[in-house]
């Protein structure tokens, strides 16, 4: 497999970390982006290096254009131009729309959607110059079905799906593909945080409400991303891959979950 330069945003923890580790295992050089947790980012890099992989950490808030520009300058100077971009950095806070501040609304859009726009815009010229590139956007089932209590988050994640499809069309014939993944509940800080609010064990919830009976593991998401980033996926573009233990077709489990979120926010 060809050795490429991959940038994974939000790779200090959770899904992003698992994606960074998997891409490095496949022989790619990985830029590990994060926002503030230096220790966790160092740990992702150390874990990759201890398995013989190549990685460097790059601190930048993806919602800030100047920080994104500086990060790309540093990546290009140290690792080369980005061939594989995984727009994973994301964040969501329970807040029903009636209680939403303008600031909170804007922050959701800036981090989850604006970050993907800024990184993609910066990565594209290099990809188009080489006639090869992979962009994978981490959306959510919230962006497909909507989640009460998480209107701003759902809006941003739905926006990422429109971004994916429209950009895939714009990049017709360029060798650059754009796809999205839409996870359900994944065993990460963010994924289990909601269950903490409910005081419920996430595994028990998953055994009751999903078709497979299990939470999604970050490594499972990472393997799908790694496939989409490979040469084997050259004919897949503009698509959304749902990885949710069958939750979204499991007879209302997602809706029941969202209703509880909305109650919490009141």
Query: For the window 39-78, what string marks contact with ligand NAP as x by the rule CB under 6 A?
Result: -x--------------------xxx---------------
Nearest to 76 by CA among 31, 117, 40: 31
Query: For the window 200-239, what string marks contact with ligand NAP as x by the rule CB under 6 A?
Result: ----------------------------------------
DSSP state letters, 203-216: HHHHHHHSSSSSPB
Stretch that binds ligand NAP, among 21-29, 82-90, 121-129, 199-207 (CB under 6 A): 82-90
Nearer to ligand NAP, 33 or 81 (CB): 33
Nearer to ligand NAP, 132 or 137 (CB): 137
Among 58, 72, 117, 185, binds ligand NAP (CB under 6 A): 185
26/79 Cα distance (integer angstroms)? 17
Active site residue 153: yes
CB of 1 to ligand NAP, least distance (A): 25
Cβ-proximal residues to 54 (8 Å cutoff; 6+ apart), any chain:
24, 29, 30, 48
159 contacts ligand NAP (rule: CB under 6 A): no
Cβ-proximal residues to 39 (8 Å cutoff; 6+ apart), any chain:
none
Cβ-proximal residues to 62 (8 Å cutoff; 6+ apart), any chain:
9, 10, 33, 35, 68, 87, 89, 111, 114, 115, 116, 118, 119
- 116 touches 85 (CB < 8 A): no
Nearer to ligand NAP, 137 or 237 (CB): 137
Helix (H, G, I), strand (E, B), or coil: what is residue 188?
A: coil
Indicate which residues carry an active-site annotation: 153
> What residues line the site for ligand NAP (CB under 6 A)?
9-16, 33-37, 40, 61-63, 88-92, 111, 115, 138, 140, 183, 185-186, 188-191
């Amino acid at each position: 497999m060809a050795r490429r330069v991959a940038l994974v945003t939000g790779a200090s923890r959770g899904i992003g970390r698992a994606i960074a580790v998997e891409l490095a295992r496949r022989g790619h050089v990985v830029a590990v982006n994060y926002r503030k947790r230096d220790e966790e980012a160092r740990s992702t890099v150390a874990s990759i290096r201890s398995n013989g992989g190549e990685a460097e950490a790059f601190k930048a808030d993806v919602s800030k254009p100047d920080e994104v520009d500086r990060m790309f300058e540093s990546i290009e100077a140290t690792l080369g131009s980005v061939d594989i971009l995984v727009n994973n950095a994301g964040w969501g806070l329970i807040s029903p729309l009636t209680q939403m501040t303008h600031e909170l609304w804007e922050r959701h859009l800036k981090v989850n959607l604006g970050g993907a726009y800024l990184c993609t815009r910066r990565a594209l010229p290099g990809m188009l110059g080489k006639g090869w590139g992979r962009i994978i956007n981490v959306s959510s089932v919230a962006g497909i079905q909507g989640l009460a209590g998480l209107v701003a988050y759902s809006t941003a994640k739905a926006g990422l799906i429109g971004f994916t499809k429209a950009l895939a069309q714009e990049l017709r014939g360029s060798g650059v593909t754009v796809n999205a993944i839409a996870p359900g509940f994944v065993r990460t800080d963010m994924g289990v945080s909601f269950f903490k609010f409910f005081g419920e064990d996430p595994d028990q919830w998953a055994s009751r409400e999903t078709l497979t009976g299990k939470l999604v593991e970050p490594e499972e998401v990472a393997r799908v991303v790694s496939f989409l980033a490979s040469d084997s996926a050259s004919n897949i573009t503009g698509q959304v891959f749902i990885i949710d233990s069958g939750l979204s077709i499991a007879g209302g489990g997602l809706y029941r979950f969202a209703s509880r979120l909305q109650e919490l926010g009141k």
